[in-house]
Structure 1
Amino acid sequence: MSLHLFDFKEAIGQNYRSALPTEFKISASTTYDILVMRILTSNIDVHCKKNNKTIKLSENFTPFPLHLVGRKSSKQLKTLLHPFSLNDYVKFSKKYYGRNIIFYHNLLQELAFYFHYTNEKNHQAAFVNLYRILEYVSYSFPLIHSSHFGNYIGSFEAFRAYFTDVKTSEIGFFEKFTENLFRGTGYLSYTTDFDFSHADIAVANNCYDAFHKLAKSSDWITANRATHALSIENKRLIRLFKDTRNRYFHFAVGGQRNIQNTDLKDPDFFFEKINSKYLNWIGFIYGTVIRESLDNALL
């Protein structure tokens, strides 16, 4: 299976492939949804046709916090789906994939470009694809999640819970969704940690200060300029994600002074330090949506 500018190649060693159902093995017929799972768990290689480079992925973005991947095998996929099996997902995919091909195709495309730009150390460009992913899943994840309830009342109640009022924005909608998705689990009160340490202290201070200004001082659980460490509760992470985009890519928002290129001594370093954290949260939400969809779907 390939996209216009990307091919996907098997990264699992020959000795470990027997644990994969046929549908999970990389071939011309591998479906986009399975490719999305494999790229987020980093047990696949991404080949860019434009520059003829193969990207060796190394981080599993589906657990929280993300894990470095050592030996690539079916383990990452099995852990993602637990307590369900790979074959359970194959049944689920065969039933629902056809109505969501465009969604998975677009999501895979954005992920491929994100990893391409990250591999090229163009982290500022990678953030653009990352934010496109956020906007794309903000309505899609709640719709996918609610559509797999086994009864109409359950589906309606699940979907209605995501709205706060008629003015709810896409991001507000998604925040409400994650609030419901993780209620009672503790994940929203866990923190995501950012580290702006750099050999050049001026760059470290500069990027730390710029990021610190994106949230209220009271929102930061950790804010240590001496170590350039910041941490924030996950319940505020989507809002921080949005504000990063608005304050950097817009010239004016609500009268606030935004982040200009002249404010950052090294924009690519700045985005390098935050991109993987945002993708980890999206990947973790994605895995949770898959498991709950499997649990609610009529297999």
Structure 2
Amino acid sequence: MVSDVSDFPFSYSECLAPTTLSRIPEKLKINGSHDPEILLIIRLLSGAITLEHKYSLVKILQKENYFLANFQGYAQYWDRDFPKLIGENYSAEQLSHFVDSQRFINRSFYKNILSELSYFFYYQKKQAHSSAFIFLYRALEHISYALPLIYVSKTDDFKSTFDSLKRLMIKNPGELGFFKKFIDTVYQNDSIRESSVDFDISLTTEIEQRNMFNLLYGLCKPAIIADSTEDPRKLSIKYTEVGCFLITIRNRFFHYTNGQDNIESSNIADIDVLFSLTNKKFLYWISTIFLAVISHNAIQFENITTQIAQQQNRTQ
């Protein structure tokens, strides 16, 4: 059945096989017009949904998993494998309870994110990659303040919440400085902080490959480039600096300013080729941060639920 809200530009429907659906809790299925936006986003980013642009009737079977760097989907084992990204022993049943608990929380925020991401996939399907990038950046702007606030609010320790907000509010210069501080905080003790995101430069000819690598490399400050970069095949950006790279591309192409090193359209045969090389890894990066917040909140919800159940058992 299709998830369809009359004033929303996209509708969503199941793509999983009946055998898989038979194992999935009801609250994780796409059943109709009132599916939680947070569920649709999770299914969309994990490659387990079909979406349709209602005006053009373009239908997209989204099977790429943006929570993994290789985009490998779960096929018919979504219910088994996706919950493991939240926690080693986390189950689909636990995820269903968390999703249901979020059904009416921050709906406007999740609705906006769902729309931006859906337009990204729509324009990617049309191979209009520069247009897709616009919606990718819009999604980043939506989450840059909302996700940190959602992250720190999901706790029963008000002092901890206050302290977390105070650390994030320390003045940070530059665009999305608040979000950059948040990423540094979330991954403070995580090995992913030391990792990189690899942008593969794969084009038809060696000259095209060299020119595109040089263009993208030239946009980067030396401090954001990771050691795993392979000239001219792969540009590796430090994980915590990917947002800086994304913003730089936005500014150098869409915000043409005299006096800065702009991306000159006269030097590129097809601008969509440039964005085709960066967009998917940008969305992977955004998705991993979204997953970190969802995972944190899901585990917090599970812990609180367990504590409440234990207290009720003691009073009985």
Settle same-fold status: TM greater than 0.5.
Answer: yes
* Shift of residue 170, structure 1, vs aligned partner: 5.5
Per the alignment, residue 133 of structure 1 pairs with 139
Report if aligned partners of 1:206, 1:263 keep a CA contact under 8 Å in 2: no
Amino acid at match of 1:236: E
> Partner of 1:121: helix, strand, or coil?
coil
* Shift of residue 223, structure 1, vs aligned partner: 4.1
> Partner of 1:232: helix, strand, or coil?
strand
Aligned-residue CA RMSD in angstroms? 1.9
- Correspondence for 1:42 among 33, 41, 47: 47
* Shift of residue 210, structure 1, vs aligned partner: 1.5
* Shift of residue 168, structure 1, vs aligned partner: 4.6
2:77 is the alignment partner of 1:77: no
- 1:1-299 to structure 2, matched below 5 A, reads 1-2=3-4, 4-28=8-32, 29-63=34-68, 65-69=69-73, 71-72=75-76, 73-82=78-87, 83-165=89-171, 168=173, 171-220=176-225, 221-225=227-231, 227-252=232-257, 255-297=259-301, 298-299=304-305
Report if aligned partners of 1:208, 1:228 keep a CA contact under 8 Å in 2: yes
Report if aligned partners of 1:196, 1:270 keep a CA contact under 8 Å in 2: no
Amino acid at match of 1:265: A
Larger CA deviation: 261-270 vs 238-247: 261-270
Q: Which has the higher strand share?
A: 1
* Shift of residue 236, structure 1, vs aligned partner: 1.2
Cα displacement string for residues 13-46 of structure 1 (whole angstroms, at most 9, x for unaligned residues): 0111022111111121211110000000011111
Higher RCO (C-alpha under 8 Å, 6+ residues apart): 1
Larger CA deviation: 203-212 vs 101-110: 203-212
Identical counterparts, % of pairs: 26
Cα displacement string for residues 213-251 of structure 1 (whole angstroms, at most 9, x for unaligned residues): 1112453224443x4321121021111111111111111
- Measured in 2, the distance between the counterparts of 1:207 and 1:136 equals 29
Which structure has the larger Rg over C-alpha atoms?
Answer: 2
- Measured in 2, the distance between the counterparts of 1:75 and 1:121 equals 32
* TM-score normalised per structure 1: 0.91
Aligned length: 295
Report if aligned partners of 2:45, 2:65 keep a CA contact under 8 Å in 1: yes
Amino acid at match of 1:128: I
* TM-score normalised per structure 2: 0.87
Report if aligned partners of 2:38, 2:102 keep a CA contact under 8 Å in 1: no
